[in-house]
Structure 1
């Protein structure tokens, strides 16, 4: 029997490799030869011991090539380049049935590789149901395709903000998620204002289309946004940084009828002061964004396949499977965007 390797986070800063039996696809199953798996914040937190879930077969930002398909698979064939949606949903709970599968009560409860919980993208192969597999363009770089899932998350966020042509949109933070928000807001026809404290990342923001950049360590971002909008405040603000002080700033710089999206998860989850009268009188909307739905994922595959979103500046390193621990150490560096593991190199 053929074997394949899986990378498993087995303890704090500890990754072990396991060999498992490679099974053939049946029915609606697809066997994927994994090319690229990007290391997301979830995996970083487990590897670093912030979240202790051991053993954990991590990796949920995945792209590869179809190796074989079951007899009932219609939409992909061997040789196709694909991205994989690994956020599970039960299809039975209230949220799934109301069309909000990103809020599924049992999402992320998955086992791809026998004996190990977790999405399992750091592996040479994955055996998946066909409904998780999305075909990409034949000429796409699979390292780029692996960023479909984080892009899909940002598409969900952008949709929650209902951006209109000509809106003034602020993106707080120019990490990878902020970078995606900048490009997506530009595609919606907005004027984009990017706020950051790192000059290098502000240069990235400019390159990706930000119309105005603010170094918020050197000037008051709230006052500057109001100055740029003739005192009104922004039409939409996305907080992509995990600091609750910036969540408060996001609300403060939002104008009447504006939308504030708390994109990041906050650690620690400290409370902030909120003037409920400001919300009442301004009719602003304060919302969040978590996980992409299936339509968000599909749109992400189209944007990447058609090269409408540029991810070339958002890949900070590529390491082979045998150097997966090195990849994780790179990913923990806050100056990086995404570090990718090439799972068959």
Structure 2
């Protein structure tokens, strides 16, 4: 099928400023693949950049959670791809050469950010009709998988990275703090873990959603002391694992207090404003052997696991799908994504 000579893409030029431009359709270079974007999810990172909370260097080509169809394949791509293949995209780039990549920590690659030229739009570019990506960034998925679910392979891979590092044992108590999209994906990933899974969330609609998706218990931290609630649910032991899926410093402090002996606290969500500090008694780590760690993005194995889980329906993503908008309605999509009763909103640049 012939392709157009130009395509439309969106550019975030500043806080709450979006422009649409018509640009030439590129040819894939060596080891590159041209994709026709099927669906792109509005991540909280793009929402922060759009709202001005995260001061990214504008102009930004947003959209790092997306799926698409293969259009053209550059020389040297090692995967057995063909035009029409449906793929999910790992938005982060990896150099494969730095110390972190060579140790297998490619989620911590020293060179993951693309070179930026001042004033020129750059970024993952899923918020457009077409996108040019490196061959190693794409993962094929079966045609039975909906493009919305395939686009969520990226955030699911991030969650699996966290859960695999801090997997509760059967009979443990795992607490997820925050029932936004990432908290609910943690809940879905822990569904068959054998642990008692608790969700802490002040918003009643989101607490109800967590119950609907299988949480064994919920905590309302606006009416109940979090630490006391966790101890009540664990016969005084505290939580074996706590996943912090909301960027509030005080939550981390409370989680450390609520940790069981040899318990783990994983800071999954980034904290804003940056540079914020927390106050912790270091003796907690000494006397209880509590582990405080972070979790960033995903590595290539996590992405494979996410695509497999979606393809074989071992993790159900349908409860977090919250509607879609055409590309020209990106501003409306951002407004919808910011509502507390939505989880993942999608763009469909080419229709579905």
Cα distance, 1:128 vs structure 2: 2.0
Is this contact kept in 1: 2:213–2:319, CA < 8 A? no
- Equivalent residue, structure 1, for 2:280: 274
Structure 2 segments unaligned to the other structure (5+ residues): none
- Equivalent residue, structure 1, for 2:336: 330
Is this contact kept in 1: 2:141–2:311, CA < 8 A? yes
- Equivalent residue, structure 2, for 1:147: 152
Cα distance, 1:237 vs structure 2: 0.5
Q: Does 1:61 align with 2:97?
A: no
Q: Secondary structure at the residue paired with 1:25? A: coil
Q: Secondary structure at the residue paired with 1:278? A: helix
Residues 28-85 of structure 1: per-residue CA shift (max 9 Å, x gap) = 3322110111111221122112214211111100101112323544432222211001
The structure 2 residue matched to 1:119, chosen from 114, 124, 128, is 124
Q: Secondary structure at the residue paired with 1:340? A: strand
- Equivalent residue, structure 2, for 1:128: 133
- Equivalent residue, structure 1, for 2:219: 214
The structure 2 residue matched to 1:16, chosen from 15, 19, 22, is 19
Segment drifting more, 281-290 vs 51-60 = 51-60
RMSD: 1.8
In structure 2, distance between residues paired with 1:241 and 1:250: 12
Residues 73-127 of structure 1: per-residue CA shift (max 9 Å, x gap) = 443222221100120122222211111111112223257xx95211111111112
The structure 1 residue matched to 2:327, chosen from 301, 321, 324, is 321
Within 5 A, what are the aligned runs for 1:252-267?
252-267=257-272
In structure 1, distance between residues paired with 2:115 and 2:187: 32
- Equivalent residue, structure 2, for 1:305: 311
Is this contact kept in 2: 1:110–1:119, CA < 8 A? no
User: 1:52/1:100 Cα in 2 relative to 1: closer, same or farther (>3 Å)?
Assistant: closer
In structure 1, distance between residues paired with 2:152 and 2:115: 20
- Equivalent residue, structure 2, for 1:5: 8
In structure 2, distance between residues paired with 1:339 and 1:273: 36
- Equivalent residue, structure 2, for 1:183: 188
Cα distance, 1:3 vs structure 2: 0.6
TM superposition score normalised by structure 1:
0.94
The structure 2 residue matched to 1:35, chosen from 38, 50, 59, is 38
TM superposition score normalised by structure 2:
0.92
Within 5 A, what are the aligned runs for 1:282-297?
282-297=288-303
Is this contact kept in 1: 2:325–2:347, CA < 8 A? yes
Residues 168-216 of structure 1: per-residue CA shift (max 9 Å, x gap) = 1000110000001111122332210111111211121112221111222
Q: Secondary structure at the residue paired with 2:208? A: helix
- Equivalent residue, structure 2, for 1:224: 229
In structure 2, distance between residues paired with 1:160 and 1:325: 37
In structure 2, distance between residues paired with 1:44 and 1:194: 24
Q: Secondary structure at the residue paired with 2:88? A: strand
Q: How many residues align?
A: 343
Q: Secondary structure at the residue paired with 2:21? A: strand
- Equivalent residue, structure 1, for 2:346: 340
In structure 1, distance between residues paired with 2:115 and 2:309: 27
Residues 225-272 of structure 1: per-residue CA shift (max 9 Å, x gap) = 112211111110011111111111111111001110011111134322
Is this contact kept in 1: 2:205–2:341, CA < 8 A? no
